[in-house]
Every structure is written in structure tokens, then in C-alpha cells.
Amino acid sequence: MSTLVNDLKEKWEALKAENPHLRIRNAAAQLGVSEAELLVTNIGEGVTVLKPEFQNILSEVEQLGKVMALTRNDECVHERKGTYLNGDFSSPHAQLFVGEDIDLRIFLNSWKSAFAVVEGDKKSFQFFGKDGLALHKIYLTKDSNAAAFDTIAEKYKAEDQNQTFEFEAVAAKPEEKPDSEIDVEGFQKAWKELKDTHEFFMMTRKFGVSRTQALRLAPEGFAKKIENSKVVNVLEDASEKNLPIMVFVGNRGIIQIHTGNVKKTLWHQQWFNVMDPDFNLHLDVTKIAEAWIVKKPTEDGEVTAVEVFNKEGDFIVQFFGKRKPGIPELQEWKDLVAELEK
């Protein structure tokens, strides 16, 4: 172990001694390093470096049975239990798992390193970006196949467990163009002519607008800014009305989706939480900078979302009513959103 890694390990141990419940992501932030940099200080002590064969590893995780999939950003944590089913790696742009429980859109070109991690009785596979940011984690549950975990970890174990890890900053987002340089008329026309919600991202690329700029420049009636506090109402009202919704949380490497009901909601300090048996959500409401109601035309009728952003204009979380292609949006969801607009 290099002197630098050893030094970092000692600092982390000291931090844990002061605060035994400190999570690794928070410890990394306090120490001014990435989460992966902290994790590699424990290689050989419960942490095993895996070959960066992400597609192959993911194609085998169905064998684990029921696990907990965890995807997060700095403001929101999305935890969903289920089995990884119907993996599809045929597209070079986005890879998929499409099951009733585990529903993922994966962008493997942002993935850099993988580890098998054993902490006491907790076992997980953890995946990181080139800057050491945690992109996705798969935790075993009491219903998982632990033997399959050991087999996969051994099969993909990297030959060199003492390799040096180089972490690099991710390129900064391009500056937002001034509104005066945008073809607003053409952009608004294209928005009104959308046929599918998935076309929206390509439309913003075509017209060179950022996501929040797109909402500012939306055609009349298609985007409305709401009070940040109303984001909590989405979850509380859906719980109260027993209304199935879709909850999207992601980072640059993955988007994780929950489709179904939310039942138990509660506050803990600045975090608003969903605490259901198979779905947990933790949202830091103090980090919400903007919240919008967004409407997009599709071949199945209008689709309405509540979209939540941080101060950098990055997505925190998105909410939709439960729907599938070919099925119109639920009227109950439209009614819930109409209440938020008042």
C-alpha cells in the first residue's frame, strides 16, 4: 500500500472512531476525496477489485435472486428490492434491466471500476465512475443467493489487487447559451409536436438548451414552476390516495425507477423519506433549487411529470403517474398535479 493510501486509511479510521455511524460517502466528502478512493484503502480487507467487465458482471446478477439496488445522487437516494431481470445490452448508448421491481437505464460508458465489498454480514457489488463517484450498488438481502455472490466475485476478481487507481475530474458542463441565441419559436414548435417522452432529451440537444432553460422557454402551458415544498406533497398525496407512481433517480451512469405505490412516508431532519418494505427513498429537501410541472405530448395523450433540480440544474428526482406505452396517463395523477398547480 502506498504512503498516500496508507495516510488516507489512517484519516478514515480516525474519522470512524469519532463517528462510528458516518457513511463512506459523507466521510469521503469530509476528507476531500472520492468514495472509491476511500474504498481502495481496504483492498484485501473485505474489498476485492473486479475486472471492469461491467456487462458480463451485470448479466450474471440475476443469479443473486432478490437483492437491493441502490442508485443515488448528492440529494436523493433510491433503494429498490427485487431481482435483476431482462438485461438488455444490445444498445451502445443505454443498457437496460426491465423488471417489475428492478428497472434501470444504464450508461456503461460512464463506468470505470467495480468492487466486491464484504462489511461484516453485508455483501455488495459496487460500481464507480472515472472520478470515483459511486454510480450503482447491489446489496444482498436475507433472501439473496450468497453462494452466487461469492462465485461471481471470484470469477471476475482482477489479477492485480495492488493496482494503482487514477481518478480524474469529470469535464464541466458547457455554459448555458443566452436565451437570445436560442431559436425559441422552433423549439416551442418541436415541443408541441413531440410523439414520445424519450424524444425530449434529443430535442434539447438539437436546440442547444439546458434542461432548466428548456422549461423556462417552454410553450405556454407546458411547464410551470412550483414551490419547492410541494415536492413533498407529491409523495404524501400519492400515499394518501393509494396512487401508483413512477419515481426516477439517477446520476451520470444510471437511472433507477420505482413503479408502484408509496405507503409509509416520514421526516428525519431535512430528509423526506419513503420507508416501504421493497422501496426506500431519501430526499434532502434543503438541496432542492427548482421544481417544475412539465407536460409533454405523446401518441398516448399528454404525459405530466414533476421534475426536481439542484442549484447546478441537474436532476434530483422525477415523478410520473404509473403508465406504460400505449396506455394513457392516470386521471388520478392528473388530478394530483392539478392540486400542486393551484
Q: Judge if 3-84+113-156 and 179-341 fold alike in CATH terms.
A: yes
The helix-helix angle for 230-241 and 331-341 (nearest 10°) equals 150
State in words which class domain 3-84+113-156 has: alpha beta
- Rounded CA separation 29/168 (Å): 16
Asked if 105 and 93 count as a contact pair (C-beta separation under 8 A), the reply is: no
**First vs last C-alpha separation in the chain:** 60
- Residues β-bridged to residue 88: 96
Asked if 317 and 330 count as a contact pair (C-beta separation under 8 A), the reply is: no
Q: Where are the chain's structural domains?
A: 3-84+113-156, 179-341
State in words which class domain 179-341 has: alpha beta
Smallest Cα–Cα separation from 290: which of 325, 317, 261, 257? Answer: 317
pLDDT in tens, the chain (342 residues): 566 778 888 998 999 899 888 899 999 999 999 999 999 999 999 999 999 999 999 999 999 999 999 999 999 999 999 999 999 999 988 999 999 999 999 999 999 999 999 999 999 999 999 999 999 999 999 999 999 999 999 999 999 998 888 888 888 888 999 999 999 999 999 999 999 988 999 999 999 999 999 999 999 999 999 999 999 999 999 999 999 999 999 999 999 999 999 999 999 999 999 999 999 999 999 999 999 999 999 999 999 999 999 999 999 999 999 988 888 899 999 999 999 998
Task: Determine the pLDDT at residue 1.
Answer: 54
Task: Determine the pLDDT at residue 2.
Answer: 65
